[in-house]
Amino acid sequence: MVLKINNLSKTYRNGRGIKAISFQVQEGDIYGLLGPNGSGKTTTMKIITGLSRADEGDVQIFDSSVENDGEKSLEQVGCLIEAPAIYEYLSAKKNLENAAAYYSDIKAPRIEDILSQTGLLEYQNDKVKEFSLGMKQRLGLALALLSNPKLVILDEPVNGLDIEGMVAIREIILKQAKSKGITFLISSHLAHELELICNKIAIMKDGHLLKTATMEEVIEQSGTLESYFLETVRSGKEKAV
């Protein structure tokens, strides 16, 4: 088991949050969290990566508890939560070098390799503040993939991107999953985007996880993920998983 989320709950002061979220991600999965804005996707991902704390419940990454052993649980994880966490006054290469400093086995060739894979090699010495949104997103992805993680968590990775940008990000994810067997957990409010890359899906709404299914089941039942999402949400009868 790569990731095990057990009964996760968190309530913010405004009453929003997540309620009793449970799901599991197996090795090799590209697992999608689909839901509208405010459904609790980012909150769930923040708790998984230790940026936020749950009121109740537990997260285990490769059998290490995020709450009790945060450092160890993040050793095999790369992530991009909300906007890419980058220093705009540094170059792309410097941003990657800074991140690489926390891993003893990441050296210069790996930095060059990931810059090349994300199409940023020729811009490596440019300051990030001069980058377009798509380039920043690709750098965010490069930072998430840099340490050769076994699990990559991406929160709305194509948010705000144009068609070319979305395709570029999708291709990088699929290539990494296929060539390196990386497990992905990806959140989005774009059903079509998740349908193109995920093999499993969880539907979230108003802080609840309504349903989980394989993409095959989704297509078999509803034809498209979008229809499946609408059916799930509209039915209103499904109990939280």
Interface with other proteins (CB under 8 A): 46, 49-53, 70-72, 74-75, 77, 79, 81-83, 85-90, 94-95, 98-99, 101-102, 104, 143
Nearer to other proteins, 30 or 143 (CB): 143
Helix or strand (DSSP H, E) at 50: none
Please, what is the minimum distance in Å from the beta carbon of residue 127 to other proteins? 9
Looking at beta carbons only, is 95 or 188 nearer to other proteins?
95
Q: Residue 217 has which token pair?
A: 């089941």
Nearer to other proteins, 49 or 188 (CB): 49
Instruction: Select 71 or 122, whichever has its Cβ closest to other proteins.
Output: 71
Query: Cβ closer to other proteins: 161 or 233?
Result: 161
Report which residue type is found at 90.
L
Would you call 200 helix, strand, or coil by DSSP? strand
- Amino acid occupying residue 39: S
Which tokens in the block code for residue 136?
């920043």
CB of 181 to other proteins, least distance (A): 21
Q: Taking CA 118 as the corner, what is the angle to CA 3 and CA 36, rounded to the nearest 5 degrees?
A: 50
Secondary structure string (H, E, C) spanning 73-108: HCCCEEEECCCCCCCCCCEHHHHHHHHHCCCCCCCH
User: Rounded to the nearest whole angstrom, what is the least distance from the CB of residue 221 to other proteins in the complex?
Assistant: 36
Least distance between other proteins and beta carbon 49 (Å): 5
Torsional sign, CA 116, 26, 155, 46 = negative
Whole-number CA gyration radius for the chain: 18
Closest distance to other proteins from the beta carbon of 214 (Å): 29
